[in-house]
Amino acid sequence: MLDGLLVLDLTRHLPGPWATQALCDLGAAVIKVEAPPAGDPVRALPPHDARGVSAAFAALNRGKRSVVVDLKRPGGAALLLDLAARADVLVEGFRPGVLDRLGAGEAAARARNPRLVWCALSGYGQAGPYRDRPGHDLTYQAYTGLLGRSRDARGEVVTPGFQTADMLGASAALAAILAALVERARTGVGRAVEASMLEATLSARALHLGPWQVGDRGGRETDPLGGAFPNYRVYATADGGAFALAALEPQFWGGFCDIVGRPDWVGRGHDPSLVPEVEALFRTRPRDAWRLILETADVCAAPVLDDGEVLSDPQVGALGLAAAGHVAPPFAVTPADPDQTAAFARRAVAAHPGADTRAVLREVLGLGDAAIDDLEAQGVVRSG
C-alpha cells in the first residue's frame, strides 16, 4: 500500500525502528541512516545468525537499506538534507534540538521539500523540564505510573518483561505518520508530527487515570483488570506453570464456576476474599491439565505460554505469523495475496552497516563513483 514512498530512518534501538519497520512491511522503501563506526547499537545484541546479524536487529530492520553517514562531519548534514529533499518521510529519534544544531533540522529539511512528513520521536516530548533527559522504556513506565502497577504478590514493584512504553510510542509515531500522509494526499503538503514514549503511555493509561481524576483513589487494589478480583487474574498451577483467567462477564464467570463444580462462586466474581480459594483450585492440577478443561470452553481462559510455545502455537501457525525465521507485521494485508507474501519474504533480510551506501547515493542523489569516493575519503560516509 505504500509502494513508491521513500522513508529515511534516523532512529535506533526499539521504538523508531519498529515504526519504520511497519512502514517497510507496508511497502515503503526504507533507508536506515546510521552513524559510524558500528551503526545502531542493537546490532551488537546477541545472539547473532550465521551472517553475523543480531537476531534483535533483524527483527526490527529487515528489508531496510543501510547508509552510514557521519552527521558531525562537514558535509554530513548537507548530505542528509539532500536525501530528505527526495524523501517522503523522515523519522528521527534524537534528543530535541540535536539535528537543528547540526544544521539538518526539520525547518531546513522542509524548506527544501515541503511534501516531507517529518516525525520526531522522543522519550519525554519536545518541551518541558524532562525533554533533554536520557531515558529508556523502564524510565518512561516509571514516570507514567505504569511501572507502579507492575507488582508481585508481596506488593513490590518488578521489572516488566515487555517494553510497553517503547511500543506505545512506536505505535503513536506510526499512526501520526500515516495520518500526515493521508493529509498530504489531500493538500499536497507534508507536516511535522511528534510522538513520545511518555505521551503515548500516559494516553494509553486513560482507563486508569480517568477514575483518579474524578476522585477514585482505589488504584490497583480495586482495579477489576489489575488482578484484584478472582474472575480476572493469573493463577499458578501445580507444575509451576500459570493460567490466565479473564472471565469478566457474568456468562464467562458463570461458565467457569459450572465447569469446576463451584456454583456457590457464581455471585462472587468481584469478591477479593475468594481469590485464595481459586488459587488453591488452580494449584490442584498442572497447567496442561487445565488446558484440557478450560481452553476450549467458552470462559475466556488461556495458558501462559513461553516463547517457544508461542512460535509453535497452532493459531500463530494458521495466520503465518512466525514463518521463515521472522515475525510477521502487526497487520494483515490481503494475506491470501501471493504477491504480498512474496514481497514480505523479499524484505526478510537485514543489511550490514553501510551495505547500501554507494547504491543509495547513486540511485537517490545521482552521485557518481568519484563523488562517492570523495565523500568516503572525507569520512562523511562509509560503505559496508
Residues written for the chain: 384
Joined grid coordinates for residue 48: 547473532
Q: Render 290-321 in DSSP notation, one character per residue.
A: HIIIIITSSS-EEE---HHHHHT-HHHHHTT-
Question: What is the rounded distance in angstroms from the CA atom of residue 117 to the CA atom of residue 7?
Answer: 9
Q: Mark whether 3 is an active-site residue.
A: no
Q: Render 150-191 in DSSP notation, one character per residue.
A: -B-TTS-B---SS-HHHHHHHHHHHHHHHHHHHHHHHHS---
The sign of the dihedral angle between the CA atoms of 179, 181, 187, 192 is positive
Question: What is the rounded distance in angstroms from the CA atom of residue 361 to the CA atom of residue 254?
Answer: 65
Q: Which residues contact 216 (CB under 8 A, 6 or more apart)?
A: 222
Where is 34: in which H helix or E strand? strand 29-34
Q: Could you say which of 49, 166, 307, 313 is catalytic?
A: 166
Single-letter amino acid, residue 377: A
In angstroms, the Cα distances linking 331 to 9, 16, 283, 314, 337 are 21, 18, 37, 18, 14
Q: Do 316 and 310 meet the contact criterion of CB atoms below 8 Å apart?
A: yes
Single-letter amino acid, residue 325: G
- For the annotated catalytic residues, the residue numbers are 166
